[in-house]
Amino acid sequence: MMSLNQSKSVLVASLLVLTTLLAACSGREDDLNRYISEVKSRPATPIPPIPPVRTYTPYVYEGLQGRDPFRQSTSEGSDQVAQSGQSKGPRPDLQRPREYLERFELDTLSMVGTFSKETSEWALIRDPDGVVHRVAVGNYIGKNHGKVNGISTDEVQLSEFIADGTGGWLVREASVALGGS
């Protein structure tokens, strides 16, 4: 056990250490207060002005002037519009049976290659499902009655019939390139 004198001396030593620590902390507090007052005395940076509000200009839908916005494609339903017209000029054969690749838009088909045997030549066309089909000159592909006119090593050339909306048809040349549309 400690004697009374020893415990008094330990208590005095502890008080002396605590007083020294408190004095050291008060010096740091003065430095902190000086730094805060220096920062507060600096001039404030100006706040940028609020950007002007742009006015909204609404779009006015003009009804039936133009294409129906709910149609997937301009070629969709074109057979019914053009069938009723009595115009002269080029027309697709609407009575012939449709071929398999005519159910796809032309831009969804891609050419993946060609092959030939003796005098016959074919192009290999991939549909959107990834299935490869053999196409020869005279076959039809695409939704616009596209008839294959020629096959080269890098593209398939075809002629499409586009309904002009007044009962007639327009012929448009198109192609499907190797590796793309």
What is the DSSP secondary structure assignment for residue 176, as one 8-state letter? E
* 78-177: CATH topology: SH3 type barrels. (2.30.30)
pLDDT tens-digit series, residues 119-169: 889 999 999 999 999 999 999 999 898 999 999 989 999 999 888 777 788
Q: Are 123 and 101 in contact (CB under 8 A)?
A: no
Contact 99, 141 (CB under 8 A): yes
Which residue ranges make up each domain of the chain? 78-177
pLDDT tens by residue, 45-83: 888 999 898 888 887 777 666 666 666 554 555 555 445
| Segment among 8-12, 21-25, 79-83, 123-127 with least mean pLDDT | 79-83
Q: Is the pTM of this model over 0.75?
A: no
Query: pLDDT at position 132, please?
Result: 92
